[in-house]
Chain A
Amino acid sequence: MNRSNNRGHAPIPTGAKRPWESACLIGLGNVLLGDDGFGPLAIEMFRCAYECGPNIEILDLGTPGLDLAPYLYGANLVVIADAVLAEGKPGTLCTYCEADLLSCRARLRLTAHDPGVQESLAQLRLMDRAPSELIIVGCVPESCELGKNVSPSVWSASSVAADSMARLLMERDVNCRRRRVPLQPNLWWLPRDRCELVASR
């Protein structure tokens, strides 16, 4: 396996269990709609705090609706970060599995491009190309208004969500570890003051 992007660190021991061959981290949401951009924010926080093997894809897919299907096609482990409709204060994180999604326990705020995840999964399942495992890391939004900043509760939750996603990957023996020196997040869509906040951390 090509480990060139581990920057010379020793490879992560894979232990006795066979690790997942590949994984895909997907951020969903519209970055222009305040807390709806939780998904892209959380995966950017993850990318900057953790490094992964080359077989891990990190994708900001925005609000793709049915166009999600090509990205889930034949995938192994899929972790989706998204704003969700759930009980709890803004910034509350909730993790769901695919069964929760299909039984409507998880109400994703996934875009106006209805249909989306359910239809994509159903079609992939009929083709025997559905992901082996699908996990959703959801966050309760405070405000999804146009051009608004991410609210403080969701902002704090995004780093916690990055850690949860890393834990989910590590529990499944996916090649993933915390960076010694974190990268600077590229949050081009946020107003300047938020970017400066990141710089000063």
Chain B
Amino acid sequence: MARVSIDPVTRIEGHLRIDVEVDGGTVQKAWACCTMWRGIETILRGRDPREGWVFAQRFCGVCTTVHAMSSVRAVEDALQLEIPANAQYIRNLILIGHGLHDHIVHFYQLSALDWVDITTIPKADPARAASIADGVSNWPGNSHRELEAVQNKVKGLIASGQLGIFSHGYWGHPAMHLSPEMNLILFAHYLQALEFQRKACQVVGILGGKTPHIQNLAVGGVMNAINLNSLATMNMDRLGTLQSLLQDLVPFVQQAYFVDACLLAASYPEWFRYGRGVANYLAVPDLPVDAKATKFDLPGGVIMDGNLGSVRPIQNWRDEAIRAAVAEDVTHAWYKGNGLQKPWQGKTDPDYTDFQENGKYSWVKAPRYNGHPMQVGPVSNVLVGYASGHPLTRKWTDAAFKRISSANGSNVTADDLQSTMGRYLSRAIRSAMLSDLALEHWQLLANNILKGDDTTYNPPQFPAHEVEGVGLHEAPRGTLSHWVVIDKGAFSNYQAVVPTTWNASPRDEKGIPGPYESSLLANPVADPQKPLEVLRTVHSFDPCMACACHTLDASGHEIAQVKVL
């Protein structure tokens, strides 16, 4: 099947293009080029800050919720407006539902086929696969009969000669080495995952009124009416539905996804050695447990130079250091301007030059933290939590290490998480944490409502003078921040520094590459025609974009163009 180019902006490429130079079987140089102009913030200037989130959540079709959330948080920060406890919990449950959905989609749909060779599945022994799976998990979807049914589907698909969407995989690639049984187990869960994505969507839909594009937010809280005696509002019945959806989700995350990620890591331990890249990590605290947002269930912090002992915690969203540290550089991005610019003063004036590997080559700006590139995402979240002794992070990270150790006898440590496989594993660890927190935050909401608190909204007051705010959110792909300037009740500036901007950052004025670029250096590439290894590392970041990889040999001659599945 020919692939269909699906891209509303350029019609040919996706948002991201990765160029790598391969010599002697490893990557020597890499460029991350975002091919889409993300100047979408310009349409927010002059708008009423109370409606900003409605537009902001259309920035992206997949991460709608996170932009809505950061937008209201930014305005609330500028106004120093507290929101009621119920609003925090309802927002948190939406964020957890969205996060779990996103991580499940990433593992099974966006990246599993970089590791799982489905063409070996017909050779698997389903009874043996069931016993392998039973040995590590009590997930009910691992029965002999279930796995045999999946195997028959794959046999039928292969016999039909029409692999369809699977026809572009690098089947038989030397870097794929899972046993047929492991491939069968993981593919069975790939199919089962959809059921659980639906449940996560339902959680978001019940609370948000609609999904995608939730409708229940407001600057000052949420618009969910709470009345235990009304059929039309948040009541015990609806709380019960939410609870049972969350209870259904937890086992899939903890017994299927988490276990699969550990098995994958144990089977491909060499990938703990590749893909480290930028070893500075940034995560912001999230899932506040009180109205004033003084305590959080996900810790934030900064780690520099891969030194976990150096972690500096970010206690809350009023943290002055992060406000002072974040700035963007456009030396190698297609924008006008020089030097580092604070987001509040940020401009987005395009200056397109074509791809110049020593000049400007991307639409992504280069965000820097006190001048340093930073890696964001679940790995930062987990490393910061682990380094600062956060109990829930330790619980699931240690559980993962134990599983890997009992599968292959190796001793994996937190330092090993700074790698391609570490990013995959951290995402599963974070999901397991979120699944524990899902039920806890449900309980916080239920307790608060049963206590008689039905407030969900504090009305905002806009001052006549100019105010600045930042809305921080630890989104599924990492730290997201919306920076707003409000003047006379309207946005006078709006800049979003999104996780993919941090990770897909081009070089800066000092020539220092961003996380995608540096993580690809020294990656093995067994066959430049089939640069599967490049995809594994790029996918480990969960790029929120269609991605086209070009491979160049040292003479600069383009020898393969590969569309990322």
Contacts and interface: CB of A to CB of B under 8 A. Distances in A.
A65 B8 CA distance: 12
A83 B11 CA distance: 12
Contacts of B7: 109, 111-112, 114
Interface residues of A, number: 45
A83 B62 contact: no
A44 B333 CA distance: 38
A123 B194 contact: yes
B5 interface: yes
A173 interface: no
Interface stretch (B53-61, B245-253, B352-360, B384-392): B53-61
Interface string B42-67: 11000000000011001111101000
Given A32-B55, A62-B212, A188-B54, A126 B191 contact: yes
Which of A64, A104, A111 has the largest count of B CB atoms less than 10 A from its CB? A111
Interface in B126-170: 153, 157, 164-166
B6 A112 contact: yes
B43 to A, nearest CB: 4
Contact of B6 (A32, A62, A109, A189): A109
B43 A109 contact: no
Interface stretch (A11-19, A66-74, A162-170): A66-74
Contacts of B36: 112
A27 to B, nearest CB: 11
A70 B104 CA distance: 13
A123 B109 contact: yes
A145 to B, nearest CB: 10
Contacts of A118: 1, 4, 164-165
A146 interface: yes
B394 interface: no
A183 interface: no
Interface in A31-56: 31-33, 36
Interface in B313-330: none
A142 interface: no
Given A32-B58, A65-B61, A122-B165, A115 B153 contact: no
A127 B197 CA distance: 14
A165 B31 CA distance: 45
A118 B163 CA distance: 12
B40 interface: yes
Contacts of A67: 61-62, 101, 105, 197, 201, 212
B6 A116 contact: yes
Contacts of B39: 146
A111 B8 contact: yes
Given A30-B58, A62-B64, A112-B7, A147 B43 contact: yes
Interface string A3-32: 000000000000000000000000001111
A104 to B, nearest CB: 5
A69 B40 CA distance: 27
B273 interface: no
B109 A119 contact: yes
Interface in A53-92: 60-67, 69-71, 73, 83, 85
B43 A62 contact: no
Contact of A112 (B8, B54, B101): B8
Given A65-B61, A126-B191, A147 B8 contact: no
A189 B565 CA distance: 32
Contacts of A115: 6, 165, 565
Given A32-B43, A126-B153, A188-B54, A63 B4 contact: no
A129 interface: yes
Contact of A66 (B64, B110, B201): B110
A65 B545 CA distance: 10
Interface residues of B, number: 47
A30 B61 CA distance: 8
Contacts of A188: 54
Contacts of B526: none
Interface string A113-142: 111101100111011010000000000000
A65 B547 CA distance: 13
A65 B1 contact: no
B55 A111 contact: no
Nearest to A119: B165
A188 B48 CA distance: 13
Nearest to A37: B58
B426 to A, nearest CB: 21
A146 B54 contact: no
Nearest to A144: B8
A107 B58 contact: no
Interface in B16-53: 36-37, 39-40, 42-43
Interface of B: 1-2, 4-9, 11, 14-15, 36-37, 39-40, 42-43, 54-55, 58-62, 64, 101, 105, 109-110, 153, 157, 164-166, 190-191, 194, 197-198, 201, 212-213, 544-546, 563, 565
Given A109-B8, A113-B6, 12 more contacts: A33-B8, A61-B212, A62-B212, A63-B60, A67-B101, A67-B201, A73-B198, A108-B4, A112-B14, A112-B15, A115-B565, A124-B194
8 smallest CB-CB distances across A and B, nearest first, come from A63-B61, A114-B546, A147-B43, A122-B165, A70-B198, A114-B6, A62-B61, A119-B165
8 contacts: A29-B8, A62-B64, A70-B198, A102-B164, A122-B165, A126-B153, A129-B194, A188-B54
